[in-house]
Structure 1
Amino acid sequence: MKDKLPKGWEWKKLEEVGEVITGNTPPKSVVKYYLNGNIPFVKPPNLGNGIVIQTQEYVTEEALTKSRLIPKNSVMVCCIGSLGKVGIAGTDLITNQQINSINFNNKIVNYRFGYYYALTLEKYMLENANQAVVSIINKSTFSKYNFPLPPLSEQNQIVSVLDKTFEKLDQTIALVEGNIQKLKQLNESVLDEMFEGKHANWKTENLKKLTLKIGSGSTPTGGQNSYKESGISLIRSLNVHDWGFKEKNLAFIDEVQAKKLSNVEIENNDILLNITGASVARCCIVPENILPARVNQHVSILRIKKELLLPKFLHYSLISPFYKNQLLYNSSGGATREALSKNMLEKFEINYPTIIEQQRIVTYLDQTTEKSQKLTQYYQNKLEALKRLKNSVLDSAFKGELRRAKVIPITQPIIDPYFARTKSFNAKKKADKQAMVIALAIEAHEKNGKSLYRTKGEKTVEVIEKHIDLDFGRVAKKMAAGPAAFEHLVKVVEPLAKEKKWFSVQEVKGDNYDGHKYIKAENFNAFMMRCVLDLRPKLQEIRRVIDLFANMKTTHEAEVVATIYSGWNNLIIRKTQIDDEAIVTEARENWHDSKLKIERQEFFNAIEWLKNNNLIPQGNGREVI
């Protein structure tokens, strides 16, 4: 810890550059010390985020007779338990006995220089702590820690550089941590959308009827001292996590111990569920590579009837907020500790569809989970790199390498592209939505024994975009085939669908004209699951309109209806006087020469059709020009 210092610097002990004060807790039995107090009472959880002003607990002036006041700008360091957590007193306050504070002598130490140096102590403290159950650095040892002391003017310069650098680093770290949290929320949101409530066309059964086995094990006699370095895996609650099994600290037992737990021998694809303690309701599928294995008394095996449920479907169900909250509520039912009994699990109900539908759901969730986990790992790596950079900057500072620096070049934090609402991001999301409507239309036509062609698909998209008031990023024009944005469709939407393997376009040669038919691709079913989730608030109405178009006998009928709808919508946008004659004039005479070949009565019939099917335009979206 005592490296060679730059010229003009010298090593001092902490007790030589300030007063070291160990905190203490005013007696909790004296209510008046804590009633309506205004002096912050700091504990280790309050440290770690710079300046501390507000806390969960406050004490009164009278409590100061039983505690030590920590002056504003003192640097607080946790020396018991969470070693090395640091904070600055933003006001006069008190701390508990786990925290030592340094009230630096401001004539020789800039307190922020002292704060930055305190951030480097964690590693050293962990290496030298009293190896008790709870790590401890006593006041005497802490006071003797070395402190590098440059001239005050040089400290001020170093602090100026570190303040600017750490402001940028902390902003970037906060952004990355925010992205990790957003991904977690996104995962929960996807699962909640899938499993929340009961689906009318799904069955509901309790786990007793859906499983072959529900049971937990026990810990071998002798506890941890009886574990082996290798052998048969003994799974404990610390190994079971919602998004995967963790092999760290996996215990092992021998054949003799395992034989006593033969009734909880794990099979491939068993579901593991934590049933006691703080990790209650955490759940995962057992990985094949850790078999053979047993579980202890804190973990339950759920062995499902595979003709009724897919293991992954049950796993995704149980980690969804909807079911997780039910499990947590059940586990807290008045017991002294959180626990799920076998009886509770047997009665626990699961709503589930057919195996085929389960497979579609699992495929979709596997894809979203894989992407989310890759992004989460990317952000975790980025976070670790930023923290290493922080340590590197501090190391340079206290080696005197920032003596003449004015600023350290750190890339300014930016909104991460994955979450940024940039123009290109929005364009892709809008194209996604249009592709979803096409996918739903492909399925609707297939149910009618038909295929969806590009022109009819574009008419369906045009009406839905304006009727539902969506924005697909397209700008429709008055074309011979009615309102259409074929350039956007052909250059943006269809290539995206092909790249993602949702659907593709097949050219079909005809006697009089060539057509373009949509063909399902390998990821179509998983994409359909996304469609259902993303469009859910308006899905019923979208499907109603799609079905209306799917039931039309000819593409010509769809062209006339879509043209009348858009012409009518144009008049509303322009705020002109509207009657049936005006609508037909806009959709026929003022549209395209080819429309003049169609009898006017067909357009009047289309107006009546729109009215009868509750498809009255509201002036949404852009005018077709």
Structure 2
Amino acid sequence: MGFDAINLPESWHMVRIGDVGDVITGRTPRTKRPEFYGGDYNLISPADLDNGKYVITAHKKLTLIGFDECRALPKDTVLVGCIGNVGKLGMIFDERSATNQQINAIICNKNNDPHFIYYCFHNNRSRLEQAADKTTLPILNKTNFENFEIDVPPLVEQRKIAGLLGVVQRAIEQQEQLLQQTMELKKTLLHQLFTQGLRGEPQKETEIGHVPESWEVMPLGNYLTEAQYGLSIKGTESGRYALLRMTNQQQGYISGDNLQFVALTQAQFERFRVERQDILFNRTNSLELVGRTAIFDIEEDFVFASYLIRLRTDAARLRPYFLNHYFNSDETQVRLKLIATRAVSQSNISATRLRSFVIPLPSPQEQDEIVAKIDCLDKKLSMHARKKLLLEELFRTLLHQLMTAQIRVNELDLAPM
């Protein structure tokens, strides 16, 4: 059933998806026919959904003869994943796309706006999941999908609702694009700064590659005052002291979210207390995550868990923020993983190995200038992330209230948009 009609305007009505338009289940051309694959046509699967509204490209590509084995779908066809991750969504971008059998496609009739139907599925995702057969792999078959009911307003209101939600969704996608562009810019900048510096100096060849001639290249231990393992105490939901774990490392900084807590004596607390500009290094994890580093620069009392190493530098020679940025660069992460000892599911970098890890070191003044340049990009990343978060919250609120007629699109002042 759709939403309770008592709570909806009289102009809204309940419809089956089968009455919204033609429902088409996709198919996969025979995989043993290599001539069907590797062309320029999209074979969309659930892995391609939930990546923005339109599916621009697919993981699997078909040749023209492979594409002829499928049904081409027109632009703005609504796509719904119905096997596995039921409720994943997308829309057809052009007529060079088809779907596999895990997706049901809806070609809307003239009485329904496809963009509104797309957003309606967004708002009804949990209901779609509940409607699926609960087997090892959740399945919402075509018959049950066609019988799935939604509440819809008149076509004019559908288009206005979809238009408003589309504006917000495009703004979210724009912030995501700016985030990705800024992250790529940061990667390029980090490589340039840590190999060329800021002074335009001649370079010298070292065991870690080319660096400016005036830079030192020495083991990290030469610049550390401490490399300490954390607490071997299991955290709980309550306790006097917050325990920092790997999950609190976010983009090179410590986040105070998702905390666990421990009870400690005063002596234990003093020994493991994290102070401003301490660096927490992830020493034990999967190979992908081992070596992840974050700097602590927040208020309140925290201690740290045993699979982290707390690093303190001789700040007069090695600025903590410089080391943190250097450790989080792509090239350094590759080098750190090379010194990890590996087991079946975990890798480890001991404090001893970390002390012997060779780093490049410019003058303190140049370190500060490098940090300032990177911090500018970090501020830009943070700004775009905040904007995206606010827009996502706005989208969720508008989606729910518009789709349940708690607010009517005609009542909104859309002139600024």
| Pairwise same-fold verdict (TM > 0.5) | yes
CA distance in 2, matches of 1:273, 1:81: 37
Equivalent residues in 2 for 1:141-156, closer than 5 Å: 145-150=148-153, 154-155=154-155
Contact 1:44 1:78 in 2 (8 A): no
Tell me if 1:380 matches 2:385: yes
CA distance in 1, matches of 2:122, 2:316: 57
CA RMSD of superposed structures (Å): 4.8
**Which residue among 226, 231, 245 is the counterpart of 1:236?**
245
Equivalent residue letter for 1:383: K
Question: Residues 311, 68 of structure 1: CA spacing in aligned structure 2 closer, same or farther, 3 A cutoff?
Answer: same
Equivalent residues in 2 for 1:100-249, closer than 5 Å: 101-103=104-106, 106=109, 109-122=112-125, 145-150=148-153, 154-155=154-155, 157-158=156-157, 160-161=159-160, 169=168, 172-196=171-195, 197-214=210-227, 216=229, 220=233, 227-249=236-258
Q: How many residue pairs are counted as aligned between the two chains?
A: 382
Q: Deviations over 1:375-429 (max 9, x none)?
A: 4444334334444554566544773945899x95354xxxxxxxxxxxxxxxxxx
Secondary structure at the counterpart of residue 347 of structure 2:
coil
Contact 1:213 1:303 in 2 (8 A): yes
Q: Deviations over 1:449-490 (max 9, x none)?
A: xxxxxxxxxxxxxxxxxxxxxxxxxxxxxxxxxxxxxxxxxx
CA distance in 2, matches of 1:409, 1:329: 57
Tell me if 1:345 matches 2:354: yes
Equivalent residue letter for 1:295: A
When structure 1 is superposed on structure 2, of 264-273 and 230-239 the one drifting more is 264-273
Q: Deviations over 1:501-559 (max 9, x none)?
A: xxxxxxxxxxxxxxxxxxxxxxxxxxxxxxxxxxxxxxxxxxxxxxxxxxxxxxxxxxx
Equivalent residue letter for 2:120: Y
Equivalent residue letter for 2:45: V
Larger Rg: 1
Tell me if 1:270 matches 2:272: no
Secondary structure at the counterpart of residue 32 of structure 2:
helix
CA distance in 2, matches of 1:15, 1:181: 39
TM-superposed deviation, 1:218:
7.4
Question: Residues 251, 19 of structure 1: CA spacing in aligned structure 2 closer, same or farther, 3 A cutoff?
Answer: farther
Contact 2:36 2:64 in 1 (8 A): no
Gaps of 5+ in 2: 196-209
Question: Residues 304, 386 of structure 1: CA spacing in aligned structure 2 closer, same or farther, 3 A cutoff?
Answer: closer
Equivalent residue letter for 1:201: S
Aligned equivalent of 1:285: 295
TM-superposed deviation, 1:2:
3.2
Secondary structure at the counterpart of residue 309 of structure 2:
strand
Contact 1:213 1:302 in 2 (8 A): yes
Aligned equivalent of 2:45: 42
User: Which structure shows the bigger proportion of residues in strand conformation?
Assistant: 2
CA distance in 1, matches of 2:403, 2:343: 53
- Identity %, equivalent residues: 19
Contact 2:339 2:349 in 1 (8 A): no
Contact 1:272 1:301 in 2 (8 A): yes
Aligned equivalent of 1:409: 415
Equivalent residue letter for 1:279: L
Question: Residues 215, 70 of structure 1: CA spacing in aligned structure 2 closer, same or farther, 3 A cutoff?
Answer: farther
Secondary structure at the counterpart of residue 181 of structure 1:
helix
TM-superposed deviation, 1:350:
1.1
Aligned equivalent of 1:314: 323
Name the TM-score, length of structure 2 as normaliser: 0.69
Deviant stretches of 4+, over 6 Å = 19-26, 59-64, 67-70, 79-83, 123-126, 134-137, 140-144
Contact 1:242 1:282 in 2 (8 A): no
CA distance in 2, matches of 1:181, 1:92: 28
Contact 2:253 2:294 in 1 (8 A): yes
Gaps of 5+ in 1: 412-625
User: Which structure shows the bigger proportion of residues in helix conformation?
Assistant: 1
Name the TM-score, length of structure 1 as normaliser: 0.49
Contact 2:242 2:261 in 1 (8 A): yes
Q: Relative contact order, CA 8 A, sep 6+: which one is greater? A: 2
